[in-house]
């Protein structure tokens, strides 16, 4: 089945937020952000902006009828700056004018005087000063302290990985207008319609039923619109409500890059102990998460870092701590992988360092420690249906890893200015929101009298193809042509109290809710057919738009059945509610069974490095991935390729930099380099582990959104290996991203 959105996307017919036809009297908002990263506001003068041509209003914290609080998990973030500013670009005021141009011009006339305070951008410094967003957490298993003595070698080190800009094609935006009787209608480019609704209600002092949020589709999100679409949406709602006129905000690329949070940079100290047979006996790590100026989703991200801090390995003795540090940069937020990539980068660094010490390829250590059936994760869950060994075996069988290693060694021995490097990157990723209470969803299905079908769920389409998967579920259950199905916008008045479309779980949660609704409807339709045919419902089957009785045609088609059922006064609408069974987590002991299942896979990444210039190419990405019973191979392959590329970008070229005053130095695409077509691997071969998927995955098709991202981590270690081949005196420093600039420095570093 094709992705029904594809043709409309590629011909420009899909409507995004900015394509909503402008209503009469629409106004446009531009946010005035703090010019300082940390300080006390002494005075704020908006009079110049208010007097400017075309300006209708300038709003600040004092215009908020409800609470100046947009915190998602904890109430530590304001819509407009209060007495202090905590990061450069933090919203201080909103200018609303007849045009965006007028608003932007007027915003330049706002004067704010700030008593400067020292900004902190380094999470280790923040920790020292006691600036934590939430209390630190530790996951423990076995007895690390005792285990060090059983190790033949113990290695310590430090690993650092950087931030990452989401760079969704569609920047943050929202369009709101006043509804009936004080209600407000918000169109938002958000992954979390319910969060927007809840926070808008809080800020406007309205009950939630007076706030309607509608989402057609997003031009990309990657986690960047799980929490951070909210402030823009709520500002349009505030202005629309106060002015009783439609108000739209679309962030410029520069504002978006400066004002919104990114993937969290982490800095870590690790210690790893092995026996001579390459078994990891003990692992401990302390990770400093750079959370930015407010909690946002950092507490949940910290949790996923802990969950995935031993990646696809079984290590009997572990102790991993994460400090979530408050710094003066924009609040960092969800980004594909949600803390897991950072945790995995640290353990992979520890393994790479141990491998260098033991003079074996890291692969030997990785392989010796793969999780096995019934091993226990640090967090108490027993590992079932473990596929990591099989993924590796298939990868090795198809691509002959030792031969790749030999080829590379042979190439490197030629002594040219080129070097090659290779790394193996296994992945184990848990599926479910780590917060158990978020794992539920609802669906609403209408069958119309002509047999066409309308479906609403809590899932937000952001390019990942969830709508195609939902259509597939309904078309399969009713056995009708998918062309009969329309997936409606995500709207809080049709499907309420939704979790964000996130955690790779959008299809699993909403698809299973939809399956429940469709099965209930199909049951009623079979009853209707049975009564028309004078037989029992278990003799009836819906097949390929026809009603069959005991497998034989009956002359009744879907198109005839539906109006008949309607005349029989049978309900043609249905709700489904799904909550993931089995899962739980007890934070007081940090143990439980938080994930419905795990996704596994293994990649080999090879790079070709030009040692004169420091430039490189990703040559090959070879993957065996555990898709389960893949219900949409085209979409899942797209997620694989996009995820891998995004991971490679994070690890090798995308670098977010701040100066020591907290000013972002990389706020445009001329200073922040993202992968382009030339960065794509020359060869990318992705194979499926052909194995039945788990019952808790939608139609046994495993979640695909985030797991592929982490294969990209292999590119970092492949590059590091290539550099080491050219410059054996270099001591690898586990400092990502490995940009061409850093590569060049390390190629000629003579310590």
Residue ranges in contact with ligand LUZ by CB under 6 A: 223, 226, 297, 300, 304, 334, 338, 433-434, 502-503
Among residues 334 and 609, whose Cβ is nearest to ligand LUZ? 334
φ, ψ dihedrals at 616, nearest 5°: -150, 160
- In whole angstroms, the minimum distance from the beta carbon of 294 to ligand LUZ comes to 16
- Catalytic machinery residues: 706
Of 432, 266, 261, 262, which Cα lies nearest the Cα of 344? 266
Contact of 193 with 272, CB cutoff 8 Å: no
Among residues 321 and 504, whose Cβ is nearest to ligand MOS? 504
Among residues 335 and 717, whose Cβ is nearest to ligand MOS? 335
The residue range among 246-254, 333-341, 584-592, 594-602 that interacts with ligand MOS, by the rule CB under 6 A, is 333-341
The residue range among 173-181, 240-248, 331-339, 563-571 that interacts with ligand MOS, by the rule CB under 6 A, is 331-339
- In whole angstroms, the minimum distance from the beta carbon of 704 to ligand LUZ comes to 13
What CA dihedral angle connects 285, 343, 385 and 698, to 10 degrees?
A: 150
The residue range among 175-183, 332-340, 375-383, 672-680 that interacts with ligand MOS, by the rule CB under 6 A, is 332-340
- In whole angstroms, the minimum distance from the beta carbon of 48 to ligand LUZ comes to 41
CA dist., res. 506 & res. 508, Å (int): 6
434 binds, among ligand LUZ, ligand MOS, none (CB under 5 to 8 A by kind): ligand LUZ
Binding characters for ligand MOS, 214-233, by CB under 6 A (x = yes):
---------x--x-------
329 binds, among ligand LUZ, ligand MOS, none (CB under 5 to 8 A by kind): none
726 binds, among ligand MOS, ligand LUZ, none (CB under 5 to 8 A by kind): none
- In whole angstroms, the minimum distance from the beta carbon of 204 to ligand MOS comes to 25
Three-state DSSP class for 164?
A: strand
Among residues 119 and 707, whose Cβ is nearest to ligand LUZ? 707
Q: Residues 16 to 45: which contact ligand MOS by CB under 6 A?
A: none
CA dist., res. 552 & res. 628, Å (int): 33
DSSP label of 219: S
DSSP secondary structure of 509-560: HHHHHHHHHHHHHHHHHHHHHHHHHTS-GGGEEEETTEEEETTEEEEEEHHH
Q: Which residue has the tokens 């900004």?
A: 119
CA angle 447, 514, 339 (to 5 degrees): 145
- In whole angstroms, the minimum distance from the beta carbon of 5 to ligand MOS comes to 19
- In whole angstroms, the minimum distance from the beta carbon of 321 to ligand MOS comes to 22
Q: Between 340-358 and 713-726, two packed helices, what is the crossing angle to 10 degrees? A: 30
- In whole angstroms, the minimum distance from the beta carbon of 498 to ligand LUZ comes to 12
- In whole angstroms, the minimum distance from the beta carbon of 297 to ligand LUZ comes to 6
CA dist., res. 644 & res. 651, Å (int): 11
Among residues 80 and 709, whose Cβ is nearest to ligand LUZ? 709
Distances (CA, A) of 202 to 187, 189, 249, 337, 540: 17, 19, 20, 30, 51
Where b means 16+ CB within 10 Å and e means fewer, 351-380 reads bbbbbbebeebbbebbbebbbeeebebbbb
CA angle 515, 519, 522 (to 5 degrees): 135
- In whole angstroms, the minimum distance from the beta carbon of 647 to ligand MOS comes to 13
Q: Residues 153 to 212: which contact ligand MOS by CB under 6 A?
A: 191
Interacting residue with ligand MOS among 32, 231, 335, 379 (CB under 6 A): 335
478 binds, among ligand LUZ, ligand MOS, none (CB under 5 to 8 A by kind): none
Binding characters for ligand MOS, 486-505, by CB under 6 A (x = yes):
----------------xx--
Distances (CA, A) of 241 to 63, 178, 204, 233, 296: 11, 6, 8, 12, 25
461 binds, among ligand LUZ, ligand MOS, none (CB under 5 to 8 A by kind): none
What token pair was written down for 68?
């100046």
Three-state DSSP class for 256?
A: helix
Interacting residue with ligand MOS among 334, 572, 609, 736 (CB under 6 A): 334
521 binds, among ligand MOS, ligand LUZ, none (CB under 5 to 8 A by kind): none
Contact of 391 with 624, CB cutoff 8 Å: yes
658 binds, among ligand LUZ, ligand MOS, none (CB under 5 to 8 A by kind): none
Residue nearest to ligand MOS (CB): 223
CA dist., res. 478 & res. 517, Å (int): 11
Contact of 186 with 233, CB cutoff 8 Å: yes
304 binds, among ligand MOS, ligand LUZ, none (CB under 5 to 8 A by kind): ligand LUZ
191 binds, among ligand LUZ, ligand MOS, none (CB under 5 to 8 A by kind): ligand MOS
335 binds, among ligand LUZ, ligand MOS, none (CB under 5 to 8 A by kind): ligand MOS
Strand partners for 160: 267, 735
Interacting residue with ligand MOS among 80, 175, 307, 338 (CB under 6 A): 338
Size of the site for ligand MOS (CB under 6 A): 9
The residue range among 4-12, 26-34, 329-337, 459-467 that interacts with ligand MOS, by the rule CB under 6 A, is 329-337
Among residues 455 and 703, whose Cβ is nearest to ligand LUZ? 703
- In whole angstroms, the minimum distance from the beta carbon of 15 to ligand LUZ comes to 26
CA dist., res. 283 & res. 189, Å (int): 41
What CA dihedral angle connects 142, 145, 151 and 154, to 10 degrees?
A: 120
The residue range among 35-43, 334-342, 560-568, 610-618 that interacts with ligand MOS, by the rule CB under 6 A, is 334-342
CA dist., res. 707 & res. 626, Å (int): 10
Strands 485-487 and 184-188: unpaired
Residues that bind ligand MOS (CB under 6 A): 191, 223, 226, 334-336, 338, 502-503
């Amino acid at each position: 089945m094709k992705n029904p959105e594809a043709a409309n996307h590629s011909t420009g017919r899909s409507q995004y937020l900015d394509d909503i036809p402008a209503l009469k009297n629409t106004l446009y908002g531009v946010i005035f952000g703090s010019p300082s990263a940390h300080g006390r506001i002494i005075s704020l003068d908006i009079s110049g902006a208010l007097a400017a041509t075309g300006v209708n209003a300038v709003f600040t914290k004092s215009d908020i009828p409800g609470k100046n609080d947009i915190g998602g998990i904890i109430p530590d973030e304001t819509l407009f700056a209060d007495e202090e500013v905590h990061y450069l670009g933090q919203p201080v005021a909103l200018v609303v004018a007849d045009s965006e141009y007028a608003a932007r011009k007027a915003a330049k006339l706002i004067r704010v005087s700030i008593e400067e305070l020292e900004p902190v951008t380094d999470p280790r410094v923040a920790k020292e000063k006691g600036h934590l967003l939430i209390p630190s957490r530790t996951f423990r298993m076995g007895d690390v302290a005792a285990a060090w003595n059983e190790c033949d070698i113990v290695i310590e080190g430090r690993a650092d990985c950087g931030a990452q800009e989401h760079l969704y094609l569609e920047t943050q935006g929202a369009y709101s207008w006043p509804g009936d009787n004080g209600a407000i209608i918000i169109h938002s480019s958000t992954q979390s319609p319910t969060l927007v609704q809840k926070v808008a209600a809080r800020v406007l002092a309205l009950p939630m039923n007076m706030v309607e949020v509608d989402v057609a589709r997003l031009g990309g999100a990657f986690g960047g619109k799980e929490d951070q679409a909210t402030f823009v949406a709520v500002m349009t709602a505030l202005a629309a409500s106060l002015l009783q006129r439609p108000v739209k905000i679309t962030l410029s690329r520069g504002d978006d890059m400066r004002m919104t949070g990114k993937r969290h940079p982490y800095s870590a100290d690790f210690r790893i102990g092995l026996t001579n047979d390459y078994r990891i006996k003990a692992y401990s790590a302390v990770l400093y998460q750079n959370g930015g100026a407010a909690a946002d989703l950092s507490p949940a991200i910290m949790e996923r870092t802990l969950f995935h801090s031993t990646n696809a390995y079984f290590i009997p003795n572990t102790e991993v701590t994460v400090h979530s540090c408050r710094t003066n940069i924009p609040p960092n937020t969800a980004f594909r992988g949600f803390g897991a990539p950072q945790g995995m980068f640290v353990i992979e660094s520890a393994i790479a360092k141990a491998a260098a010490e033991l003079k074996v390829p890291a692969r030997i250590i990785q392989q010796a420690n793969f999780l096995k059936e019934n091993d226990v994760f640090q967090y108490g869950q027993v590992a079932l249906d473990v596929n990591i060994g099989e993924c590796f075996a298939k990868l090795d069988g198809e691509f002959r890893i030792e031969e790749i290693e030999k080829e590379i060694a042979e190439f490197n021995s030629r002594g040219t200015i080129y070097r090659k490097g290779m790394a193996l990157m296994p992945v184990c990723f848990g599926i479910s929101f780590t917060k158990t209470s978020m794992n539920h969803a609802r669906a609403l299905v209408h069958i119309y009298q002509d047999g066409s079908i309308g479906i609403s769920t809590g899932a937000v389409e952001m390019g990942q193809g969830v709508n195609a998967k939902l259509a597939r579920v309904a078309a399969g259950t009713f056995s009708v042509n998918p062309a009969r199905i329309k997936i409606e916008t995500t709207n809080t008045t049709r499907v309420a109290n939704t979790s964000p479309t996130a955690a790779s779980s959008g299809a699993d949660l909403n698809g299973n809710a939809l399956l429940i609704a469709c099965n209930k409807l199909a049951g009623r339709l079979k009853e209707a057919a049975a009564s028309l045919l004078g037989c029992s419902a278990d003799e009836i089957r819906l097949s390929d738009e026809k009603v069959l009785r005991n497998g034989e045609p009956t002359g009744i088609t879907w198109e005839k059945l539906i109006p008949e059922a309607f005349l029989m006064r049978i309900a043609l609408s249905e709700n489904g509610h799904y909550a993931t069974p089995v899962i739980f987590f007890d934070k007081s002991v940090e143990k439980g069974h938080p994930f419905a299942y795990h996704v596994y896979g293994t990649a080999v990444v090879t790079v070709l490095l030009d040692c004169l210039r420091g430039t490189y190419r990703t040559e090959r990405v070879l993957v065996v991935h555990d898709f389960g019973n893949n219900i949409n191979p085209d979409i899942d392959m797209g997620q694989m390729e996009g995820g891998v590329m995004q991971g490679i970008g994070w690890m090798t070229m995308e670098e977010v930099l701040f100066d020591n005053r907290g000013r972002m130095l990389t706020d445009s695409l001329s200073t922040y380099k993202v992968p382009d077509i030339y960065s794509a691997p020359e060869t990318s071969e992705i194979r499926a582990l052909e194995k039945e998927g788990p019952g808790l995955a939608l139609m046994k098709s495993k979640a695909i959104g985030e797991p592929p991202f982490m294969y990209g981590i292999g590119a970092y270690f492949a590059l590091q290996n290539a550099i080491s081949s050219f410059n054996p005196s270099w001591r690898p420093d586990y400092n990502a991203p490995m940009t061409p600039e850093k590569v060049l420095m390390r190629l000629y570093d003579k310590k």
